Amino acid sequence: MLAEMIQRLFERSLDDKAQTRAKDGEWLGDLWGEVAEMGLPLALLSEDQGGFGLSPAEQGEALRLMGLYAVPLPVVETMGANRLLAKAGLALADGPAGLARADDLAVSGSKLTGTIARVAWGDSLDCLALAVGDTLYRVPRAGWTIAEPGTSANFHPRPTLRIDWAIDASAPLPHCPLAEGATLRAFQIAGALEAALDMTLDHTATRVQFGKPLQKNQVVQHELAKLAGELACATAAADLAAEALERADVLGVAAGTLRAREAAGAGASIAAQMHGAIGFTREHRLHLYTTALWTWRDEFGGQVGWAKLLGAAALEAGGAGFWPMVTEL
């Protein structure tokens, strides 16, 4: 039911013009207002935390829709920040919120200072759920300035923030914001790949070359099958990461995020190739998804960092311990 509401909202209020305005740097305040009114920022909270008490399947569906519509707002980041803040017993965000980890920030006396690179929509957030070491801080907007602008591959703001804040809200860290963010991105990747597959099926069914739809060519059918495989892997990877996050298993999150990142690259490449030159333009909607996939696969920790974490654990487990480790993921 929530899924239907989300679909109706974005079908109604997020058209291609709005997507372009967002890429040109505009904050879609009206759309955020509708998102907030629907209660989406609280979607991952249990009922006693003030949320909807959604099942894991319902949560996954809602999160995938944020990718399927390439929503140009920090909706999943706010959902994740609120989940983290609620778990830590800190006040929830009053507006859009960010997720970050910055272990090199200086904590001296009651002040937190330093910079955090590339925070999604860092100039438009109400607060930041920020981990430093084992502590979670709820940093309000007044606690930072923009040190340097930055832009994602899909042309959304990723500024570097200069934190200078007198600490007044902190708690022991429930789980890592990077694991939270990487898990949410995996769902967005799955959603964007679903949109890319839908579009690719549609394009290859209607585009006629050599007197027949592209889709009648076996080589095209096989690429579509591969894309469906990447989509299946991304969806399963997101679910795997979410279950691992629930039990605070960072290795399971690593496995999920890594495979979703891989699917993002492989899937975007197939969709782009199957669309031909039109897929390389802003005239066709595919670019909303390819550029988002190239963005999301590198955020909340890099691929190298996550792979080293999981790979070191596999090597540590040794030959005999490897399979038992896999069955625990």
Partner 1 sequence: MSAIPFPAPPADSAEVLALRTEFRAFLARQLEGRTPRQRSDNWYGYDRAFSRAMGQAGYLGMTWPKQYGGHERSAFERAVVVEECLAAGAPVGAHWIADRQSGPSILKFGTEEQRQSFLPRIAAGELSFGIGMSEPDSGSDLAATRTKAVRDGDVYRVTGTKVWTSFAHEADFAILFCRTSGTPADRHNGTSQLLLDLKHTPGLTIKPIIDHAGQHHFNEMHLEEAVVPASMLLGEEGQGWDQVMSELAFERSGPERFLSSIELLVQLIEVLKGRDSEAAQITLGRVTARLAVLRRLSRSVAAMLQEKQNAGLQAAIVKDVGALFEQGLPDIARELVDQEPDPRAAGAYASVLANIVHNAPSWSLRGGTREILRGIIARGLGTR
Smallest separation, CB 96 to partner 1 (Å): 28
Smallest separation, CB 3 to partner 1 (Å): 11
- Tell me: does residue 108 bind partner 1 (CB under 8 A): no
Q: Which CB contacts under 8 angstroms, 24+ apart, belong to 8-13?
A: 9/34, 9/35, 9/38, 10/65, 10/69, 10/71
Closest CA to 176 of 53, 305, 36, 46: 305
Binding partner 1 by CB under 8 A: which of 164, 198, 249, 298? 198
Do β-strands 160-166 and 111-116 pair in parallel, antiparallel, or remain unpaired?
antiparallel
The strand pairing partners of 164, in sequence order, are 113
- Tell me: does residue 11 bind partner 1 (CB under 8 A): no
Interface of this chain with partner 1, residues 291 to 310, rule: CB under 8 A: 303-304, 306-310
- Tell me: does residue 277 bind partner 1 (CB under 8 A): no
Within 10 A of 8 (CB to CB), how many other CB atoms are there? Answer: 11
* Two tokens, residue 46: 């249990």
Interface of this chain with partner 1, residues 19 to 78, rule: CB under 8 A: 56-57
Smallest separation, CB 170 to partner 1 (Å): 32
- Tell me: does residue 240 bind partner 1 (CB under 8 A): yes
SS3 of 39, please?
coil
Q: How many residues bind partner 1 (CB under 8 A)?
A: 57
Binding partner 1 by CB under 8 A: which of 15, 91, 149, 322? 322
Piece of the chain touching partner 1 by CB under 8 A; list 91-99, 138-146, 162-170, 196-204? 196-204
- Please name the amino acid found at residue 90: L
Q: What is the DSSP letter of 301?
A: S
For partner 1, give the closer residue by CB, 77 or 194: 194
Rounded to an integer, what distance in angstroms lies between the CA atom of residue 130 and that of residue 90? 12
- Please name the amino acid found at residue 277: A
- Tell me: does residue 8 bind partner 1 (CB under 8 A): no
Binding partner 1 by CB under 8 A: which of 262, 276, 285, 298? 262
Task: Specify whether the CB–CB gap between 262 and 254 falls below 8 A.
Answer: no
Task: Specify whether the CB–CB gap between 188 and 174 falls below 8 A.
Answer: no
- Tell me: does residue 2 bind partner 1 (CB under 8 A): no
Piece of the chain touching partner 1 by CB under 8 A; list 30-38, 149-157, 249-257, 284-292? 249-257
Token pair 């490897």: residue: 322
Rounded to an integer, what distance in angstroms lies between the CA atom of residue 238 and that of residue 59? 11
Task: Specify whether the CB–CB gap between 193 and 293 falls below 8 A.
Answer: yes
Largest distance between two CA atoms of the chain? 74
- Please name the amino acid found at residue 118: R
* Two tokens, residue 245: 């996050």
Smallest separation, CB 19 to partner 1 (Å): 20
Smallest separation, CB 217 to partner 1 (Å): 10
- Tell me: does residue 226 bind partner 1 (CB under 8 A): yes
Closest CA to 184 of 271, 47, 81, 282: 81
Piece of the chain touching partner 1 by CB under 8 A; list 33-41, 74-82, 86-94, 222-230? 222-230
For partner 1, give the closer residue by CB, 8 or 222: 222
For partner 1, give the closer residue by CB, 208 or 312: 312
Rounded to an integer, what distance in angstroms lies between the CA atom of residue 52 and that of residue 49? 9
Question: Contact positions toward partner 1, by CB under 8 A?
Answer: 56-57, 194, 197-198, 201, 204-205, 215-216, 218, 221-222, 224-226, 228-229, 231-233, 235-237, 239-240, 243, 252, 254-259, 262, 303-304, 306-312, 314-315, 317-320, 322-327, 329
